[in-house]
Amino acid sequence: MSSVNLASLRPLTSRERREEPAAGDGRRSQWLAAFRAVRGETERRAAPLSPEDQIIQSMPDASPTKWHRAHTTWFFEQFLLGPNQPDYQVFDPRFGYLFNSYYVAAGPRHERPRRGLITRPDAQEVAAYRAHVDAAVETLVETADEPLLGRIIPILEIGLNHEQQHQELMLTDILHAFSHNPTAPAYQAGWTSPPVARGGRASVPLEGGVYPIGYDGSGFSFDNESPRHEVLLQDVGIDRTLVTNGDWLEFMAANGYAEPALWLSDGWAAVQADGWAAPGYWRHSDGAWRTMTLGGLRPVDPAAPVCHVSYYEADAFARFAGKQLPTEAEWEVAAAHGLLEDAFGIVWQWTRSAYSAYPGYRAEPGALGEYNGKFMVNQLVLRGSSLATPDGHARLSYRNFFYPQHRWQFTGLRLVDYAR
Ligand SMILES: [Fe+2]
């Protein structure tokens, strides 16, 4: 889905920043290129969508495209320009209220479930807002003296990674909206699903022992990936490949959605309340299953990885299969040792690990400390990345997290087995 490859526009690592302080202009131009690439990718993803498409909010968890475009812009205005560019002129003082997401320290904000009611500013005004902030950020990067450049680059870097996260949400959220349109519109008419590994769900052994997990590099990572620390793993077999639609059809044929013994109590309640009988977006008509994709309604391919399943469904399927979901540590160690096919770029993979702080984790003080830390309860960790994740955004240590009932993201699973 993505044309931007940040690997080729790679921002300098913190080690390089320390070792090459004299290369100021080179550093400036690299960051300007990275900024333009990420900002351009957002607009590229929005381009197929009409102004009407960009207003819609199909459920409280999803946000309008226009809001994503404006919110990612507000992030730079609020955290980069405001504190560091004394003569910066705020584009519109009302936008802070409209486009702050959850940063309590940054002031009051419009309530999330009602973002779809905001028809003004319109898409054209949001484009002007983006252009205004782009110009100011570029001027700041071009003119900052070396000490200021050193202070603003980390904020610019988190702003770019933040915008990449919203690029993925733009696709998941518009797919949810389009799934409610009886005409099943295509986001991209010629869209094709990414190729995946074939050859069955063979299990590969991962030897027990003490392993390090967490971020281990000198580039960018989110705070929730640190500190790196040691974990104790048991001997385990982990599936080389992802669970497929064909596997899921067997689960359905065995009345998996109707057998309470397979389900967590909260999961069974969700099945009852929401009437789940198949993965999200699946529709049965004329004797066949079809599913909503970025290319519109398409036949369900039995060989393709299952997508749009909740944690509750993933857990029930694992029980049906006589296996378990991996822990996030098992996933990371297996991926680090090259044991996993399709670890990245297809579906985020549910783990059975609760999203919580690593040993010694401390959120930064201030508003940006709200980025990850305050969400560390009641959610589950997903690992890998999906077909909607922008190039260059995924990492071995990356921790995504969602509530167990959520299934509008590109979410799937692989299994582990301790019976040796
Ligand atoms: Fe955000």
Q: Please provide the DSSP assignment of 53-115 as one string.
A: HHH---STT---HHHHHHHHHHHHIIIIIHHH-TT---S-TTHHHHH--S-GGG-----GGGG
CA dihedral of residues 146, 151, 157, 158 (deg, nearest 10): -170
Q: What angle do CA 397, 80, 96 make, to 5 degrees?
A: 105
DSSP state, residue 267: H
Dist. CA 62 → ligand 1 center (Å): 12
The candidate with the shortest Cα–Cα distance to 194, out of 242, 251, 249, is: 242
Dist. CA 113 → ligand 1 center (Å): 15
Dist. CA 100 → ligand 1 center (Å): 8
Inter-residue contact 301 to 245 (CB < 8 Å): yes
Dist. CA 153 → ligand 1 center (Å): 18
The candidate with the shortest Cα–Cα distance to 357, out of 263, 223, 258, 237, is: 223
Dist. CA 332 → ligand 1 center (Å): 25
In angstroms, the CA 186 to CA 79 distance is: 36
DSSP state, residue 10: P
Cis omega (within 30 of 0) for bond into 64: no
Tokens 């052994």 appear where?
A: 205
pLDDT at 11: 38
**3-class DSSP state of 299:** strand
Region of 354 (left: φ > 0; alpha: ψ -120 to 50; beta: rest) is beta
Tokens 């590969």 appear where?
A: 204
Dist. CA 72 → ligand 1 center (Å): 6
Question: What is the maximum alpha-carbon separation in the chain?
Answer: 67
Dist. CA 175 → ligand 1 center (Å): 19
Dist. CA 174 → ligand 1 center (Å): 16
pLDDT at 420: 58
Inter-residue contact 60 to 185 (CB < 8 Å): no
Dist. CA 74 → ligand 1 center (Å): 9
Q: Which amino acid is at 383?
A: R
**CA dist 420 → 200, 203, 205 (Å):** 19, 11, 9
Dist. CA 282 → ligand 1 center (Å): 29
Q: Which amino acid is at 182?
A: P
Does the pTM exceed 0.85?
yes
pLDDT at 262: 98
Dist. CA 418 → ligand 1 center (Å): 38
The pair of three-digit structure tokens given for residue 112, joined into one six-digit string: 């999330």
Inter-residue contact 412 to 242 (CB < 8 Å): yes
The candidate with the shortest Cα–Cα distance to 67, out of 100, 31, 25, is: 100
Dist. CA 189 → ligand 1 center (Å): 28
In angstroms, the CA 296 to CA 293 distance is: 5
pLDDT along the chain (420 residues), means of 10: 34 39 76 98 98 97 98 97 96 95 89 94 97 98 96 97 98 98 96 87 94 96 97 98 97 98 98 98 96 98 97 98 98 97 98 98 89 94 98 97 98 92
pLDDT at 8: 33
Dist. CA 162 → ligand 1 center (Å): 6
Q: Which amino acid is at 63?
A: S
Dist. CA 239 → ligand 1 center (Å): 33
DSSP state, residue 291: E
pLDDT at 105: 86
In angstroms, the CA 343 to CA 241 distance is: 8
Dist. CA 128 → ligand 1 center (Å): 20
CA dihedral of residues 119, 121, 122, 126 (deg, nearest 10): -140
Dist. CA 16 → ligand 1 center (Å): 28
Residues around ion ligand 1, judged by CB within 5 A, are 101
The candidate with the shortest Cα–Cα distance to 37, out of 394, 392, 385, 398, is: 392
Dist. CA 73 → ligand 1 center (Å): 10
Dist. CA 385 → ligand 1 center (Å): 18
